[in-house]
């Protein structure tokens, strides 16, 4: 039995607990300073409520940090004497490097850094996972298995975390931004806002399913709807004249630069 303690049962902590609570072979514990949030989760799921952090650390071999980044340093420094080399800290806190978590937690525990994205809130997350250099293969397998059970995983070196944040962490916002523009186009073509929104939402679901189910390159799927001299090519040519592809690439580079600055 693997004992996992989750500190912070807000958006991400509770989504991850929800996913893990249906797995065999793990026992879940949780703590949050907001007792109402903690009760909500522990009353709904097979998760044991813990009322203080030392107890949670002592009962767990994996400790998931799901608190806001600015809350991490004080929490770890306050409890560093409880962390042993038998513990593994799993941090999903944006922007905080392994080296810092290691230092603040007293250098004994193993540290794994994980970056989820918002679709994790509905069980469809992508998780980038960074390990310390000398992490054993069995620990890597265990962590990857845990996150694969609730989404897709990519093992990355930590130097790629800013790029991943820019592409995939912020990614849902780019897609939604494009969809919002399409809704506006629908309204300007005479559809009601509700109709246009419903149609565009249906479009993204269908397109995503097609990408997943049909074993084709993205460019092939695009060409399937781009008949010679037709409507789609007229729109795509306009995108190219407006340098939309280049703007998207530049924008994601800007997000990466900003992630480096914040780090």
Ligand X SMILES: NC(=O)c1ccc[n+]([C@@H]2O[C@H](COP(=O)([O-])OP(=O)(O)OC[C@H]3O[C@@H](n4cnc5c(N)ncnc54)[C@H](OP(=O)(O)O)[C@@H]3O)[C@@H](O)[C@H]2O)c1
130 contacts 102 by C-beta, under 8 angstroms: no
DSSP classification of residue 65: E
Stretch that binds ligand X, among 87-95, 127-135, 178-186, 222-230 (CB under 6 A): 87-95
Q: Which positions from 133 through 192 interact with ligand X, judged by CB under 6 A?
A: none
The SS3 assignment for 25 reads coil
Q: Within the chain, how many helices (H) and strands (E) appear?
A: 12, 8
C-alpha span between 88 and 64 (Å, rounded): 9
One of 71, 108, 197, 226 touching ligand X (CB under 6 A)? 71
Looking at the Cβ atoms of 131 and 186, the one nearer to ligand X is: 131
Q: Which positions from 108 through 137 interact with ligand X, judged by CB under 6 A?
A: 116-118
Looking at the Cβ atoms of 161 and 196, the one nearer to ligand X is: 161
C-alpha span between 19 and 99 (Å, rounded): 28
Q: What is the total count of residues that contact ligand X (CB under 6 A)?
A: 24
One of 23, 26, 45, 75 touching ligand X (CB under 6 A)? 75
Binding to ligand X by residue 12, rule CB under 6 A? yes
Degrees to nearest 5, angle at CA 79 with 160 and 95: 20
C-alpha span between 173 and 196 (Å, rounded): 19
Binding to ligand X by residue 106, rule CB under 6 A? no
Kindly list the residues in this chain that would bind ligand X in the complex (CB under 6 A).
Answer: 7-13, 31-34, 37, 66-69, 71, 75, 92-94, 116-118
């Amino acid at each position: 039995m693997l004992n996992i303690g989750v500190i912070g049962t807000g958006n991400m902590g509770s989504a991850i607990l929800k996913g893990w609570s249906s797995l065999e072979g793990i026992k879940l514990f949780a703590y949050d300073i907001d007792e109402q949030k903690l009760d909500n989760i522990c009353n709904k799921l097979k998760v044991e409520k813990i009322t203080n952090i030392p107890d949670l650390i002592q009962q767990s071999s994996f400790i998931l940090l799901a608190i806001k980044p600015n809350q991490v340093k004080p929490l770890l420094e306050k409890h560093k004497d409880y962390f042993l080399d038998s513990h593994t800290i799993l941090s999903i806190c944006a922007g905080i490097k392994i080296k810092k978590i290691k230092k603040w937690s007293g250098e004994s525990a193993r540290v794994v850094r994980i970056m989820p994205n918002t679709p994790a809130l509905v069980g469809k997350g992508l998780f980038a996972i960074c390990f310390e250099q000398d992490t054993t293969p069995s620990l890597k397998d265990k962590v990857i298995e845990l996150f694969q059970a609730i989404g897709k995983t990519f093992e990355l070196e930590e130097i790629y975390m800013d790029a991943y944040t820019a592409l995939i962490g912020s990614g849902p916002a780019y897609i939604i931004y494009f969809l919002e523009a399409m809704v506006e186009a629908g309204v300007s073509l005479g559809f009601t806002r509700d109709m246009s929104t419903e149609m565009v939402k249906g479009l993204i679901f269908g397109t995503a399913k097609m990408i997943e189910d049909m074993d084709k390159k993205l460019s092939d799927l695009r060409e399937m709807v781009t008949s010679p001299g037709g409507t789609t090519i007229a729109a795509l040519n306009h995108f190219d004249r407006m340098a939309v592809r280049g703007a998207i690439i530049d924008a994601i580079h800007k997000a990466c630069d900003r992630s480096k600055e914040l780090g």
